[in-house]
Chain A
Amino acid sequence: MDIIILVLLFITALLILKGAKRGLILSLWVLSLILMLGLFRYHVTSALDLSF
């Protein structure tokens, strides 16, 4: 999943440089953000133990 996210981010950067269509760039960017948040959710495996 990390590889997919970084490849997507790299492609988005290349599209920004090339001046591709705004909709395509924003869609890829949003997809990357969603995947990143999904991966974060996957790695949150326990509640925080904050009882001092």
Chain B
Amino acid sequence: MSATDNTPEQAVEAVENDVAATVSAVADIPPADAGEKTIWSSLSFWGAHLWVLGYAGVLSGAFTIQFAMGEFPCPLCMLQRYGMILSTLGALWIIMQARRGTLTPTRYMQGLGMGALGAMAGALVSVRQILLHIKPGDPGYGAPVLGLHLYSWALITFYIVVLYVAVAAMVSPRGIPVAPTGGAGRAISTIVVAIFLILLAANVIAIIFLEGFAWVLPDDPISYGLIDQLQGQPIPSGG
């Protein structure tokens, strides 16, 4: 049966289906210049590493304050860490796909989207915590670092990520990351990824000690819940 035999509604539906199928097929195909190494593709590849390394540095700083200065992270502090990790997983996705040579424009955009959404979720928590302590005379939660509390710094990093994603999306037709094929570049990339993974594993261990068998963290933690609970103290409410 030819298209002319169809009713107008059927013809429109057939065309819509064809368009949808074509869009779906084309979306995952790299453009002609994808995979070609340009200054933009290198910049965006190493930009994703800087993103991972930046948040690895922030998470290390948070650990330093937690273990060296003895400050326990509050529930909102931990939620901001999750926002950072969620965001960094977007960058990690981009890096690993680029390294395998499977990074298409669609997948690159998905990685950037993960990064932006994670950053926005983290920013939501940062803003809440800033507003909780914004009144004059309020000392804030924890000791300030370089004049700002950690949640204020966290908000700044989330804005930087959203800005980076916006710029990366703007230059994306030419800036699809391309990984170096070998040598020092590949080794550096592996080290950056490994550092982030080790910090993520350390966070898993730390939260097990902080929360123990409780369902959520207390509002103002002053000790490691797991150790307290193993010594016979009751599991806090909600646990």
With A17-B197, A50-B131: A33-B121 Cβ-Cβ less than 8 Å: yes
Residue of B nearest to A5 (CB): B82
Interface size on A, residues (CB 8 A): 31
With A19-B96, A40-B125, A48-B132: A9-B86 Cβ-Cβ less than 8 Å: yes
Cα separation A12 to B200 with both chains bound (whole Å):
11
Contact of B217 among A2, A10, A14, A52 (CB under 8 A): A2
- B34-55 CB contact bits vs A (8 Å, 1 = yes)? 0000000000000000000000
A37 is an interface residue with CB less than 8 A from chain B? yes
Residue of A10, A40, A48 with most chain B CB atoms under a 10 A cut-off:
A40
With A2-B211, A40-B124, A43-B76: A16-B93 Cβ-Cβ less than 8 Å: yes
Contact of A7 among B79, B197, B204, B215 (CB under 8 A): B204
Residue of A16, A22, A39 with most chain B CB atoms under a 10 A cut-off:
A16
A13 is an interface residue with CB less than 8 A from chain B? yes
With A29-B86, A40-B124: A17-B96 Cβ-Cβ less than 8 Å: yes
- The minimal Cβ–Cβ distance linking B214 to chain A, given in whole angstroms, is 9
B79 touches A43 (CB 8 A): yes
Cα separation A7 to B203 with both chains bound (whole Å):
9
- How would you classify the secondary structure of chain B's contact residues: helix, strand, loop or mixed? helix
B170 is an interface residue with CB less than 8 A from chain A? no
B79 touches A9 (CB 8 A): no
- The minimal Cβ–Cβ distance linking B176 to chain A, given in whole angstroms, is 17
Chain B contacts for A10, CB-based, 8 A? 200-201, 204
Contact of A1 among B131, B136, B203, B216 (CB under 8 A): B216
B86 touches A33 (CB 8 A): yes
Cα separation A3 to B196 with both chains bound (whole Å):
18
Residue of A2, A25, A37 with most chain B CB atoms under a 10 A cut-off:
A2
Cα separation A52 to B75 with both chains bound (whole Å):
26
13 A-B pairs besides A12-B89, A43-B216, A52-B136 with CB distance below 8 A are: A1-B216, A2-B75, A3-B208, A6-B203, A9-B89, A10-B201, A10-B204, A13-B89, A19-B100, A36-B121, A40-B121, A49-B135, A52-B135
27 contacts between A and B (CB under 8 A): A1-B216, A2-B75, A2-B78, A2-B207, A3-B207, A3-B211, A9-B85, A9-B86, A9-B89, A9-B200, A10-B200, A13-B200, A16-B92, A17-B197, A19-B100, A22-B107, A22-B110, A26-B114, A33-B86, A33-B118, A36-B83, A36-B121, A37-B121, A39-B75, A43-B75, A50-B131, A52-B135
